Amino acid sequence: MLMPCEVAVKSVIPAIRAFISNELTQSYKMKQSDVADLLGITQAAVSKYNRQVRGAAIKIDQTQEIQAMMQEISKQLTEQQLSGPQLSIKICEVCKVVRQKGLMCLLCKRSDPTLDVKKCYVCKSEKSTCRN
The vertex-104 CA angle with 98 and 110, nearest 5°, equals 170
Give the whole-angstrom CA distance, residue 102 versus residue 94.
Answer: 13
Name residues of the chain where pLDDT drops below 70: 126-132
* pLDDT at residue 1, as a whole number: 73
* pLDDT at residue 124, as a whole number: 83
Which of the 8 DSSP states describes residue 122?
A: T
* pLDDT at residue 61, as a whole number: 86
Outline where the chain has alpha helix (H): 4-7, 13-26, 32-39, 43-50, 64-78, 84-100, 105-111
What's the pTM value of the predicted model, to 2 decimals?
0.90
Which of the 8 DSSP states describes residue 127?
A: G
For the four alpha carbons of 22, 75, 7 and 61, in that order, the dihedral sign comes to: negative
* pLDDT at residue 130, as a whole number: 53
Give the whole-angstrom CA distance, residue 105 versus residue 68.
Answer: 22
- Provide the 10 A C-beta neighbour count for residue 49: 27
